[in-house]
Every structure is written in C-alpha cells, then in structure tokens.
Amino acid sequence: MATRTHAEILRRWQLLSPYLNECQRSLWAAAEAETIGYGGSALLSKVTCLSTQAIGRQRVKLRQTDTAPAGSLFGFRRLGRVGRKLAEEKDPDLLWTLDRLLSDEVAGDPMTRQRWVRSSIRNLSQRLREQGHQAGHGTVARLLRKLGYSLQVNKKKQAGAEHPERDQQFRYIAALKAQFLRDGNPVVSIDTKKKELIGNYRREGKTWRQKPIETESYFAGYAKCVAVPFGIYDVGKNVGFVTVGTSANTAEFAVNSLVDWWRPHGRLAYPGARHVLVLADGGGGNGYNLRTWKNDLQNELCDRFKLTITLSHYPPGCSKWNPIEYRLFSHISMNWAGRPLLNLDMMLAFIRVR
C-alpha cells in the first residue's frame, strides 16, 4: 500500500510541478502530507525534494485555515496601501510641475515617437525643490517612468560639441516661449524636413500587406522631382502647417512659407498680435548666420505686415529639441513609413492624415 501511495504521489507531482511556483509546490506537498498523516512530510520530502521543515510550516498554515471558504485566500492582498504616502499623493501639484518642467526639457526623434529628457534626475529633483516640491532623485525617476520615460542605451548619434553656456541657452529660449505664450502672442517652431524623392522608391518602414511593394532601384536622377517639406508648428494652438516645394531649401522658400502661413492663418488665429516668436535650427535655409534669411524676413514679413519678430535659434546639434521635430515631423514620417511617394498628391495626402 505504501509503495502504491508513493507512486501515485510521484505521478501527481510529475504532472503538476511544471505549473506550480515555489509557494504553490510547498502548499501542495503540505496538503498531500496532511492527508497521509504520520510520515507524510518525510514521504513528500523524498518525492518533491522539499525540506521537511518547509512542508511542516505549510501544514501548520493549512490547519489554521482549513475552515476558510473555497477561493477566499487565493490572490489575497492587503486592502489599501501600507507605509508612507507617495510623494504625488502628499503633493498633488508635484506631477503637474514635473510635467511642466519637462515641456522645455524634452527632445524627440522626427522619424519616430521616441522622446528623451535633457536634464538628469538629480537636476530635475533640485529644480523641483527650488519650486517648493520635495522629491528625491528616486521619486523623480519613478515619476518619469509613470509619464512614459525610461532609461535607454546610447546610440551612435552625435549631438554636437558641448558648450559651457548650452543650458543657459535652453533656459533663455524657454523663458522667451513662456513670456510670449503668457502674453497671447504666437510662438511658431519652423524647420525643413528631410528631402524626399518623388517616385516609386523604397522607403524605410513596414506596412501590413500580403506581399511587399516592388520599387525601383535607387537612382535619384530618375525621380520625378525632389520634394522639400517646410513645416510650421504653432506651439500655442498645437496646429501644424506644411508647405512642399520642389526647388531647394533656400531662405526665400522659408520666408515665403511663413508669409503663406501668416496671411490666411496666423493673423486670423492671433488678431491684433504685433509680436511673433520664431524658433528655428541653426542651419539650413533659416540658418543663424544667413543674411538673406534675415533680410527677407524683415522685408517680406516684418515691414509688410507691421510685425516685430523675435528669432531664436537652437544651439548647433540641438535641432531635435525644436518642438516641430517631435510634434509634427515624427507623425508625418510614421504616416508614410514603408510607402513609396509616387507623386506630390500622395505626399500631401500623407501629410494631411491626422
């Protein structure tokens, strides 16, 4: 009889053990041993390789709960939170303040939804304390994860040489932006997106389909044209505008795009506004050292529409902190990912998709 009992228990153990965690295995062994009675712990210890002490402790626990209703102890959790309250529970404005700090700290990849934060968690913790919010660097890290950020490994993307006044430059731009928005004046972020070949050319990305799209070999000279998308992102209204040209990324093209935005859209959205803040990269058709860009801006926009324009350039290598990169261009890139831009109409259709 003992041999039969041993074999039956061994068979049940072989069938059940792959589905049980450590706690469940010891509980099962204790239940079997309690059913056998005297000598049960030793027998189950031989079968399961669990110590008799562990099985004995679980047998005591089973005796204490043998009158509990079925399923009442499964997944038992303590009601409510024990220990100290979370920092955001004691300070309801903490999460909102951190999110507001991150609005000027966030950069993004114009081709994806990926974002990252410029400052370290200790720096953010110090700035929160300066505003009267007690939050250590561990709390800041937890809140960042709550907001969707996480630690990422480095990628081989050079962000330009460091400059001792880099942080001061970002703070100045953030202060300007806050002042203009507070006064109800337009703040626009501008940039030229990557040039695109129009034709049946392979594009990075994937699409759901039964078989892949066949594209032409990459010979730029065979393209119908080269499209140059120039974007304008209205920070205050959270609205984007894109002008697609087929010439080149010139200062004249950039200024004409701004004029085409202000005439039908800008002055209607901001009636009576006489001051405009323009956020731009340091290079391209709207480069910081390009006199043609500034001269055309003065003649075609300022003098023509009686506007005072404050032009603020991001430091070299910091274009990804320009809001248009991750607020507008990233969505456009995802819209046409993996799809050839056969003609300009198709390109414009992808740009208009929300």
What pLDDT is attached to residue 3? Answer: 59
Q: What is the pLDDT of residues 197-220, one digit of tens each?
A: 888 888 888 776 667 788 877 676
Tokens for 258, please give them.
Answer: 């701004």
Tell me, what's the pLDDT at 324? 93
Q: What is the pLDDT of residue 165?
A: 75
Alpha-carbon distance of 277 to 181, in angstroms, equals 9
What's the pLDDT score for residue 10?
83
Q: What is the DSSP string of 274-291?
A: -EEEEEE-SSGGG-TT-H
Rounded distance between C-alpha atoms, residue 52 and residue 34, angstroms: 12
pLDDT 10s digits, 241-291:
999 998 888 999 999 999 999 999 999 999 989 999 999 988 888 888 899
13 close to 31: Cβ distance less than 8 angstroms: no
Residue 332 to residues 260, 303, 326, Cα–Cα distance (Å): 20, 33, 10
Please give the Cα distance from 44 to 39 (Å, whole number).
9
Q: What pLDDT sits at residue 1?
A: 47
Lowest-pLDDT range of 55-64, 78-87, 287-296: 78-87
Residue 181: pLDDT band by 50, 70, 90 thresholds? very high
Question: 63: closest CA among 55, 52, 74?
Answer: 55
Locus of tokens 């934060």: 117
The predicted pLDDT at position 277 comes to 96
Q: Which residue has better confidence, 76 or 90?
A: 90
pLDDT tens digits along 112-146? 666 666 677 888 888 888 888 888 888 888 888 88
Strand pairing class (115-117; 106-108): antiparallel
Handedness of CA 278, 283, 284, 287 (dihedral sign): positive
DSSP string, 116-127: EESS-HHHHHHH
**CA 332 to CA 339: how far, in whole Å?**
12
DSSP SS3 for 186: coil
Q: Which pLDDT score, from 0 to 100, does residue 182 have?
A: 94
Q: What is the mean pLDDT of residues 332-347?
A: 87
Residue 187 has pLDDT above 90, yes or no: yes
275 near 302, Cβ under 8 Å? no
Question: Between the CA atoms of 243, 244, 250 and 252, what dihedral angle is there, to the nearest 10 degrees?
Answer: -50
Q: Is the distance from CB of 97 to CB of 104 less than 8 angstroms? A: no
pLDDT given at position 298: 95
Model's pTM, two decimal places?
0.58
Read off the pLDDT of residues 284-321 as tens digits, 9 standing for 90 and up: 888 888 999 999 999 999 999 999 999 999 988 788 88
- Asked if residue 11 has pLDDT above 50, the reply is yes
Q: Higher model confidence: residue 37 or residue 264? A: 264
pLDDT at 56: 86
Alpha helices in 83-136 (DSSP H): 87-90, 94-102, 121-130
The answer, yes or no, to whether residue 343 has pLDDT greater than 50, is: yes
At position 49, the amino acid (one-letter code) is: C
In this predicted structure, the answer to whether residue 354 has a pLDDT above a threshold of 50 is yes
Confidence of residue 83 (pLDDT cuts 50, 70, 90): low
What's the pLDDT at 79?
A: 47
